[in-house]
Structure 1
Amino acid sequence: MRRGVVAGGVAVVVVVGGGSALAWTAEGGEARAGNAAKLRAVAVSRGDLVDTETVDGKLTHDGVREVWAGASGVVTWAPGQGAVVKRGGTLLRVAGEPVTLMYGGSPMYRVLKNGDSGNDVRQLERNLRALGYGGLTVDEEFTAATENVVKEWQDDRGLEQTGMVDGAQVVFLDGAVQIREVKAPEGKQAVKGQPVLTVAGTRRVVRVDLDADRQDLARKGAKVSVELPGGKKVEGTISDVGEVAESTGEGQEKKTTIGVEISLGGAGTGRFDEAPVSVELESERREGVLSVPVEALLALREGGFGVEVMDGGRRLVAVEAGAFGGGRVEIAGAGIAEGVRVGVPAE
């Protein structure tokens, strides 16, 4: 049912489905009625009104990066795409010897040995302790005790027991990783200083390349709704908004965007990877306003809007329409208050 309002003479006519009409006097009283529109009453409610815009995104993993070889030689084993490697696990084997993943924010940039000191020593010792090796103090000093534990670890890994650790044996990354691409498969020569793997973190995120002129839609910490393939909707939080715009294409095809990352927390996303998704971003929020369903609005011919108030009768009340969002519209007008019942077309 589609309703419109026209003004003529001293009456306002509300046109309803099937050509029937309701007539209203200029003072808002009911003058006559034909086949009255079938309406149901809904209450004016007070609350936040949120408008959204939908943009395209991609379901992926966080922390995509390349792993560089610290050893030279023929790759004798490499993990499969999609495999997850955790602390103490093998990233690949070069000349038969494992390259082990350990957690840390600093790369392995030197040979660690007895007598060395620094944060990288603490990082190594923290990993050895987490892997179950005792007999050492986690600090910044590489002592004889540290050397003995390193030899024990090397023995368990099938490495020569030198008591020294370098980049051919250990790669430090932020945490567990998922293998995205094997750049040096079995049989290929690994060259020191060249990428051998592309990995990502295990946390699922959504990435959006947002048009730069719409960047006000993305606010760090804001909640969003993500529609996954198949129609399932999950809640996400904007965890990062890029500060540098990137341009692609040329001429009329040129596009300038900023990167937006959305964390999905513990939301179930299935096995989808690199799948397209839709993201609803909040474009406007009005707090504590009076609103009604959009279909309650009647457009007046002379301009403006009205609603039918159903309080023992049916009378037309002119209102001012404000923000729209979620199928509702903000309204204000004489006698419009929380709980007032207005008419919307019955289904």
Structure 2
Amino acid sequence: MSRARSRTLLVVGGVAVIALGAGIFAGTRITSPADAAARAAPPEASEVTVPVELRTLNSEVVTRGDVSAAGAVDVVPEVGGLETPPVVTGQVPTVGAEVTEGTALLEIVGRPLVVLAGELPMYRSLRPGMSGPDVEQLEVTLQRLGLDPGDVDDEYTATTGDAVAELFERIGYEPPAPDPQVEAELEAANDQLDQAEDLVEDAEEAIEDAEDAAPDAPVDEDALEDALDDAREQLVDARATRDEAAAAAGTPLPASEVVFVPSLPRRVDEVQVRRGGQVSGAVMSVSGATLVVTANVDDAARELLAAEMPVTIELPSGDEVAGTITAIAEAEGEGATGHDVTIAPGELTAEQVEELRGANVRVTVPVESTDGDVLAVPLAALTAGPGGESRVEVMRDGATELVEVEVGLTAEGYAEVTAVEGELGEGDLVVVGESSDASADDDAEGDT
């Protein structure tokens, strides 16, 4: 009996212990409505702070720009006066070729297109007897090339034509031929001159014959003298006509055989024709050796920029070169907006020139900088007071304190600040926002 009772007591005791443990565990799992509401409420917010820093602030405009050669121009030959289709027959340059003055830039229907330096375009064919500023430009150019155009003025003379002929012979081409009608007029003038000379000779012979005639043969000497005078006048007129015709028949300069560009030498950037093709509009684009960067900025950035400001240009390789703003103008063209900023790079190596040509580059323009390190806070730390004054909220000993500040340069997401009322120094913690410790609550819920 005693053993049975002992066993019974042990079983009862074990059950009681198990029941007690189960009750305690169940108790931890029972949540009151108040506790549930408290857990569902958002966590209390706490201030996010950052230290006040000493740093140098730099305000800058950063944009991108396209690199092109300064003074790039399209070469458009004047081929409207040609009697045959303007077929390209040779001398087609390659991209990158250097263009020098007085050379054949292209060959059209077997004739050269000579490139010369000048501001006026070749808008008409020139020949002896013509005048104008384009003639003077041509004579200045011929003289620069060591050719003798005679007096440098606005008159195209036979001497000017001789210099033009020498220019073509220098590059291996026959000089341009005069217009057939002009040559015909010269031939006719020569014939008239020959006839006038014969008339003078005949009149002089008639007078000599009269002097040798017998005394009894009547001769009207006055009539013979009048005839000689008339013949001599005709001779003078014939010579003048012949001289004019000869001058007009001097070497011309067809508009289709020369093109003027503002300056030389230049580089061929693009070629739009091929041998055997026909000329229609621009045949190539040539540019100077000087590169420029053109960047577009909005109105806000435009207010910060001015000519002569230094810039930094980042090359595609990552290297940097200095530059200077040379001009700022409203963007032009269909759909254009903002302002175009023209930048001249500084001294470049030949390798840098080739790297930059045609590239799109990053441009940085320093606008303003603090004089060394200043107290700076993130822009998010600034708030406005009731009177519009600027303030920062400083955390000290677990409590916050508002400090009025004067704001200086703002750049790079920071603002230069100086305390007006209160104290503010490097390392002070300023409030930039609020944060909740939601992760801690999540961890706590995971532990229950």
2:144 pairs, out of 130, 135, 138, with: 130
Contact 1:304 1:320 in 2 (8 A): no
- 1:165 alignment counterpart: 253
- 2:315 alignment counterpart: 228
What TM-score, normalized by structure 1, do the two folds share?
Answer: 0.66
Q: CA deviation at 1:290?
A: 4.8
Contact 2:321 2:346 in 1 (8 A): no
- 2:216 alignment counterpart: none
Q: CA deviation at 1:139?
A: 2.6
Q: Residue type of the partner of 2:72?
A: V
Q: Residue type of the partner of 2:319?
A: K
Q: Residue type of the partner of 1:100?
A: V
Q: Does 2:290 match 1:203?
A: yes
Contact 1:293 1:328 in 2 (8 A): no
Q: Does 2:358 match 1:274?
A: yes
Q: Does 2:353 match 1:264?
A: no
Q: CA deviation at 1:280?
A: 1.2
Runs of 4+ in 1 over 4 A off after TM superposition: 244-248, 293-302, 325-334
- 1:65 alignment counterpart: 73
Task: Quote the Cα distance in structure 1 between the aligned partners of 2:154 and 2:321.
Answer: 44
Task: Quote the Cα distance in structure 1 between the aligned partners of 2:77 and 2:361.
Answer: 35
CA pair 118-231 structure 1, distance change in 2 beyond 3 A:
same
Q: CA deviation at 1:285?
A: 3.5
1:154 pairs, out of 159, 168, 178, with: 168
Q: 1:1-347 maps to which residues of 2 (within 5 A)? A: 51-71=59-79, 72-134=86-148, 136-162=150-176, 163-176=251-264, 177-191=266-280, 194-211=281-298, 214-246=301-333, 248=335, 256-268=337-349, 269-272=352-355, 273-282=357-366, 284-285=367-368, 290-292=371-373, 303-304=391-392, 320-324=406-410, 332=418
Q: CA deviation at 1:54?
A: 0.6
Larger radius of gyration: 2
Q: What CA deviation, in whole Å up to 9, does each residue of 1:74-115 have, x standing for no partner? A: 332311112221222332111232211111111001122222
CA pair 233-183 structure 1, distance change in 2 beyond 3 A:
same
Contact 1:108 1:166 in 2 (8 A): no
Contact 1:221 1:238 in 2 (8 A): yes
Q: CA deviation at 1:326?
A: 8.4
Task: Quote the Cα distance in structure 2 between the aligned partners of 1:258 and 1:124.
Answer: 38
Contact 1:101 1:172 in 2 (8 A): yes
Task: Quote the Cα distance in structure 1 between the aligned partners of 2:393 and 2:115.
Answer: 65
Q: CA deviation at 1:168?
A: 1.7
CA pair 155-247 structure 1, distance change in 2 beyond 3 A:
closer
Q: CA deviation at 1:173?
A: 0.6
Secondary structure in 2 matching 1:58:
strand
Q: CA deviation at 1:234?
A: 1.6
CA pair 90-161 structure 1, distance change in 2 beyond 3 A:
closer
Contact 1:108 1:172 in 2 (8 A): yes
Between Structure 1 and Structure 2, which shows a larger proportion of strand residues?
1
Contact 1:291 1:329 in 2 (8 A): no
Q: What stretches of structure 2 of length at least 5 have no aligned partner?
A: 1-48, 80-85, 177-250, 386-390, 395-402, 428-448
Question: For this pair of structures, how many residues does the alignment match?
Answer: 279
Q: What stretches of structure 1 of length at least 5 have no aligned partner?
A: 1-13, 17-38, 249-254, 307-316, 335-341
What TM-score, normalized by structure 2, do the two folds share?
Answer: 0.53
How many percent of aligned residue pairs carry the same amino acid?
30
CA pair 139-300 structure 1, distance change in 2 beyond 3 A:
closer
Between Structure 1 and Structure 2, which shows a larger proportion of helix residues?
2
Q: CA deviation at 1:236?
A: 1.6
Secondary structure in 2 matching 1:149:
helix
Task: Quote the Cα distance in structure 2 between the aligned partners of 1:96 and 1:343.
Answer: 80
Secondary structure in 2 matching 1:237:
strand
